[in-house]
Amino acid sequence: MSTPDLPWLASIGRQTLAIEPTPLQKMERLSAEIGGPEIWIKRDDCTGLATGGNKTRKLEYLLADALTRGADTIITYGAVQSNHARQTAAACAQLGLNCHLLLSRRVNWPHPSYLNQGNVLLDRLFGAQLHVCDLGQVDGTRDALLEQLKQEGRSAYEIPAGGSNPIGALGYVRCMAELARQADALGVQLGQIVHASASAGTQSGLVFGANALGLETHIMGVNVFHPSPETLRNRVQHIIRGLCERHPQAGVNAEVPIDINHAYLGEAYGIPSAEGLAAIHLAARMEGILLDPVYSGKAFAALIDQVNLGNFNEHSAIVFIHTGGHASLGAYADAFADPEPA
């Protein structure tokens, strides 16, 4: 059966940044190793912008909106090793926009490489201006920066952390349609989707998109950021409501079910977990695929554990959305100093 599309989405402004479609690949060796349903991977680590990642899709809509509004300067937010900040910096370089990154020291990872390598190094290569501060200083730093830019005659556009709002989430509404077309062409039954969930834009877009397409696909977001799963659930719900208000023609119920799995956060956001590191080693050794210790590694650890627990339907495939992040591996080199997990 052919997959329906979303014609209303084509009329919304989008600045092309990503290489699409990203591949949908079967993880042959890993599926056999783990057992259970077939595991497929949607390679959004291959979006092409600054080593790739899920933020590219969000930035296509956010930066289109910024340019429409006449912005010449972009301000965005994240932790020191923010993947979103790195991709925003690269997109701004490509489009000739000034870029200011407000990076908060919210992660207690006491290794020098964290502050200088990985995404931070790339931010600087892309010409972004970095404003590194403690978490409690972000608002004051932002206010001072906005005043400075105003005095300079700049037109600033603010992008929220992760690019996650009803504009950015459109990137994953579009991704859901892309994935559905690929699965249909390959004869893959889209029973279950697993992905890392943090700022809520990816999950809200996927859920909204699946419902707009009329798909009966279970989407599990693995919480890798919030101490409370309800905080993340509320953020996802808030963005979905915003999408419903902006795009009623999609016919989506704003109160759609949202599945958040909170069991794999580990010690805290940005702190590698033993299970996540083991998943990184397994994906690298079995499939030649790089995950990261903050997002995709923890989410893939959840997928493996849920398969082992028998919590997935064995008669339909699992699709793992690889949201990128391997650019931060060098910043976490110390996490890999211990012997490889058995």
SS3 185: helix
Q: Is 82 a catalytic residue?
A: yes
Q: How far apart are CA 71 and CA 57, in angstroms?
A: 19
Which tokens belong to 329? 């591996």
Which residue type sits at 218?
H
Quote the longest CA-to-CA distance of the chain. 61
- By the 8 A CB rule, do 236 and 258 touch? yes
- By the 8 A CB rule, do 243 and 166 touch? yes
Specify which residues 317 forms β-bridges with: 190
- Name the catalytic one among 2, 11, 31, 82: 82
Q: How far apart are CA 168 and CA 7, in angstroms?
A: 18
DSSP secondary structure code for residue 69 in this structure: T
In this structure, what is the dihedral angle of CA atoms 79, 75, 292, 273, given to the nearest 10 degrees?
A: 20
Specify which residues 43 forms β-bridges with: 322
Catalytic residues, by residue number, are: 82
